[in-house]
Amino acid sequence: MKCTIKQWCIEKHLNWYGQGVIGQFRYDWVVMLGKGRRAIFSSINTNNVPLLYPLRDHDVLIFPNINSSSQGGKISEQRFDRIIAWADTCLSGGIMPFDKFMLPSQSNGLKDREKE
């Protein structure tokens, strides 16, 4: 099943906010991952890694908007979980490109296939 980011956030009880502006930076959507932990996604960031954006009193990470518009903005639950886990890992200090990040279940599957 494929849903929009907003639909997945509602299903998983995550606070979601649509387009807005932080300082002079326009973003597409934000997911609150916990108190003071927000993942901010913007199509302005065309990299594969989040960018550090300075605000007056603190810095924020701006993630690339990797939601696929080719699917009408809808993505699978697995891809949504991967995006959220990647953002959470980056916010915890483990910044890496999205294409290098795997969910633990994905990496276990890879290890199992490598053994064969």
Q: So where are the chain's domains?
A: 2-115
Q: How far is Cα 22 from Cα 59, in angstroms, rounded to an integer? A: 11
As a residue count, the chain comes to 116
Residue 30 has pLDDT above 50, yes or no: yes
pLDDT at 6: 92
The residue to which tokens 């930076």 are assigned: 25
Q: Which residue has the higher pLDDT, 36 or 87?
A: 87
pTM, 2 dp? 0.82
| Amino acid occupying residue 79 | R
pLDDT at 110: 41
